[in-house]
Amino acid sequence: SQLSKTPLFLNDYRLLRKGLIEEISTDYGIFIIKDDTLFSCEYSINPYYDINGVGLLYFASYPIISDKCFDEYYQQNYNLQTIYRDIFYFANCNSTEKIIFKLNSIEEIDNCIKTTVSLFRQSDNQILSRILTIKQKIE
């Protein structure tokens, strides 16, 4: 069977990939999409646990890399629990690449932290993913 129309999330993905969308609406609110860089750092891939059997970055590594780099920025005395995450995958990289983490936006609402992050391949500045996350502070 065929779909009668394109699902909304797929349309958002295409628009985001082309840079033609300014916000994404989710069940957890609206995420503003911007290319601002509030913080950036370099991540060195660990081939023993970041790379899969064909020599590319595990898709499961993207949120881990994002969390590790965000922790370098947000050094507070809170434990943070992820309560929402949406990842838009655009590209991949091999084990010899370095990844550039960019924190594009951060918003603190009550006991939650809402972020938009971009991961880039350092060698050619190709965007790998956009990651939308909400973390809850646990004291």
Kindly state whether residue 45 falls inside one of the protein's structural domains: yes
Kindly state whether residue 12 falls inside one of the protein's structural domains: no
Question: Which regions of the chain does DSSP assign to beta strands (E)?
Answer: 23-26, 29-32, 39-44, 79-89, 98-109, 112-121, 126-138
Kindly state whether residue 110 falls inside one of the protein's structural domains: yes
Model-level pTM?
0.91
Domain harbouring 122, CATH code:
3.10.129.10
If one counts the domains in the chain, the total is: 1
Kindly state whether residue 25 falls inside one of the protein's structural domains: no
Kindly state whether residue 19 falls inside one of the protein's structural domains: no
Q: Tens place of pLDDT for every residue, the chain, 139 residues?
A: 677 777 777 888 888 888 888 999 999 999 999 999 999 999 999 999 999 999 999 999 999 999 999 999 998 878 999 999 999 999 999 999 999 999 999 999 999 999 999 999 999 999 999 999 999 999 7
Instruction: Find the domain containing 122 and state its range.
Output: 35-138
